[in-house]
A and B are shown apart, each in its own frame.
Chain A
Amino acid sequence: DAGITQSPRYKITETGRQVTLMCHQTWSHSYMFWYRQDLGHGLRLIYYSAAADITDKGEVPDGYVVSRSKTENFPLTLESATRSQTSVYFCASRGSLNTEAFFGQGTRLTVV
């Protein structure tokens, strides 16, 4: 299917475990983003990427790792999950500076 998809949609994990959230887009967009959404904080940028192998830290990168070996994929890894990382995570992609970003459906992650 065309578009941007995130998996899994829901995930419960234990403190200290490593977990990877997947993001895949079919448009060959250059730019991809990861956000977390928490009450009172809106959408906060975790990492963003201009192309394969070009990534930058956003506002809240600590505890997260990203990679982008292929244009269409942008996985987000929590190396050792903490309860403070319980959140809804959104992935987005866009073709260029003057176009809108398209968002995935979100992944609700609960760390217990």
Chain B
Amino acid sequence: AQKVTQAQTEISVVEKEDVTLDCVYETRDTTYYLFWYKQPPSGELVFLIRRNSFDEQNEISGRYSWNFQKSTSSFNFTITASQVVDSAVYFCALSERSNFGNEKLTFGTGTRLTIIP
């Protein structure tokens, strides 16, 4: 079963538009963590945000904001006033306990965001 679903494979928007990237997750744990990463064309993976399962406060960081809703198992990411530099692949990830104290970090399939100048 897919643990992290990013249903939007590719999104294109014109510069300065707002865009929301969806992330839906599945877990049986009561304690878990969610993440967003950015992968620009250069290929490295850049950490954006971490959220634990007990903190449902939305977070804003500059043009970026995140909406965490446990009731719908969603952790959506919004970019306001998009810029060309936001063009990248964005990954949502779920961290949860596994066997024998191990921790699994599972990623979604990613959303490729293209900002058109």
Which residues does A use to contact B, with CB under 8 Å?
31, 33, 35, 40-45, 48-50, 54, 56, 58-59, 88, 90, 92, 94, 97-103, 105-106
Contacts and interface: CB of A to CB of B under 8 A. Distances in A.
Nearest to A44: B107
Contact of A54 (B31, B50, B101, B107): B101
A41 B107 CA distance: 10
A54 B106 contact: no
B95 A90 contact: no
A50 B47 CA distance: 21
A50 B103 contact: yes
B109 A100 contact: no
A94 B45 CA distance: 14
A73 B95 CA distance: 21
Interface residues of B, number: 28
26 contacts: A31-B102, A31-B105, A35-B107, A42-B6, A42-B107, A43-B110, A45-B104, A45-B105, A48-B103, A49-B102, A50-B100, A50-B101, A54-B100, A56-B98, A56-B100, A59-B106, A88-B43, A90-B45, A92-B105, A97-B95, A97-B103, A98-B50, A98-B52, A101-B93, A102-B47, A103-B44
Interface of B: 6, 9, 31, 33, 35, 43-45, 47, 50, 52, 91, 93, 95, 97-110
Main secondary structure of the interface of A (DSSP, over half): strand
B50 A100 contact: yes
B110 A100 contact: no
A92 B47 CA distance: 12
B9 to A, nearest CB: 8
B100 A42 contact: no
Contacts of B107: 35, 42-45
Nearest to A99: B50
Contacts of B50: 98-100
Nearest to B92: A42
